[in-house]
């Protein structure tokens, strides 16, 4: 009996502490356009936050010296590829704003080992861009260690990237950047010196099965 009471008391204390910490946290669950929490392993399209948030998806393209389509581009005229999220480290399977995430596409080209999102430094563009996989055809590629995250941005969300080696710029927002020759906008970091002149890319998350079946709720932005 004492063991049962002890376990029950421990559980109640844990539940109280967990609830209390959430109550005083500014973080909130990330929702899709149906108003449902996004979940690890679920499939979602990432679209721009507009009045018609069901187009303008992400695709993969060959850029620079790459012989394999590994650069992530946003294009206004396509649906693109869905992604899925994995929470880094120990979790309760709840994706909150600020949660450290691994992001990957649900499909990949045969020329790469993985569809996982990575941050790399592009010497030609002097910028940090988002790609996938490991492309052996890009010479001297520098992958930046870190994790992605989602934050609230107005009535929508924004994506960001954190890296321990970036000093004061540990966590930075992600923007769209169009050089007029890639066939879409790259996803790249907004560096500290650019923060006053560049805006984060506002996004929404659309449940892929609902989108593909035509069952969607209209959620005003």
Q: Identify whether 170 is part of a domain.
A: yes
| Number of domains observed in the structure of the chain | 1
Pairing label, strands 185-189, 171-177: antiparallel
Q: Identify whether 44 is part of a domain.
A: yes
- What is the band of 34 on the pLDDT scale with cuts at 50, 70, 90? very high
Backbone angles phi, psi at 21, to 5 degrees: -65, -35
Asked whether residue 12 carries a pLDDT value surpassing 60, the answer given is: no
Q: Are 31 and 37 in contact (CB under 8 A)?
A: yes
d(CA 190, CA 173) in angstroms, rounded, equals 6
Q: Identify whether 7 is part of a domain.
A: no
Q: Identify whether 10 is part of a domain.
A: no
Task: Give pLDDT tens digits for 160-205.
Answer: 999 866 544 589 999 999 987 788 999 999 998 899 999 999 999 9
- What is the band of 33 on the pLDDT scale with cuts at 50, 70, 90? very high
Q: Identify whether 128 is part of a domain.
A: yes
For 24-33, what is the mean pLDDT?
A: 84
d(CA 155, CA 54) in angstroms, rounded, equals 16
Q: For the ranges 10-24, 36-50, 140-154, which has the lowest average pLDDT?
A: 10-24
Q: Identify whether 181 is part of a domain.
A: yes
DSSP string covering 43-59: -EEEEE-SSS-S---EE
Q: Identify whether 197 is part of a domain.
A: yes
d(CA 210, CA 212) in angstroms, rounded, equals 6
Q: Identify whether 204 is part of a domain.
A: yes
Domain with 163, as residue range(s), is: 29-213
Residues in the chain: 221
Residue 157 sits in a domain whose CATH number is 2.80.10.50
């Amino acid at each position: 009996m004492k063991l049962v009471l002890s376990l029950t008391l421990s559980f109640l204390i844990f539940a109280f502490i967990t609830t209390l910490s959430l109550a005083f946290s500014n973080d909130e669950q990330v929702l899709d356009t149906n108003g449902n929490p996004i979940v690890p392993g679920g499939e979602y399209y990432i679209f721009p936050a507009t009045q018609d948030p069901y187009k303008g998806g992400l695709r993969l393209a060959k850029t620079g010296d790459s012989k394999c389509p590994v650069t992530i581009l946003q294009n206004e005229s396509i649906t693109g590829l869905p992604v899925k999220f994995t929470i880094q480290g120990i979790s309760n399977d709840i994706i909150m704003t600020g949660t450290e995430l691994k992001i990957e596409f649900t499909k990949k080209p045969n020329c790469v080992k993985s569809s996982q999102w990575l941050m790399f430094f592009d010497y030609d563009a002097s910028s940090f861009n988002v790609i996938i996989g490991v492309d052996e055809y890009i010479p001297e590629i520098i992958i930046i260690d870190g994790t992605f995250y989602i934050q609230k941005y107005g009535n929508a969300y924004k994506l960001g990237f954190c890296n321990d080696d970036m000093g004061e710029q540990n966590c930075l927002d992600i923007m769209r950047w169009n050089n007029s020759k890639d066939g879409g906008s790259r996803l790249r970091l907004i560096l500290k010196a650019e923060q006053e002149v560049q805006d984060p890319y506002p996004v929404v998350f659309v449940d892929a099965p609902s989108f593909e079946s035509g069952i969607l709720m209209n959620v005003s932005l």
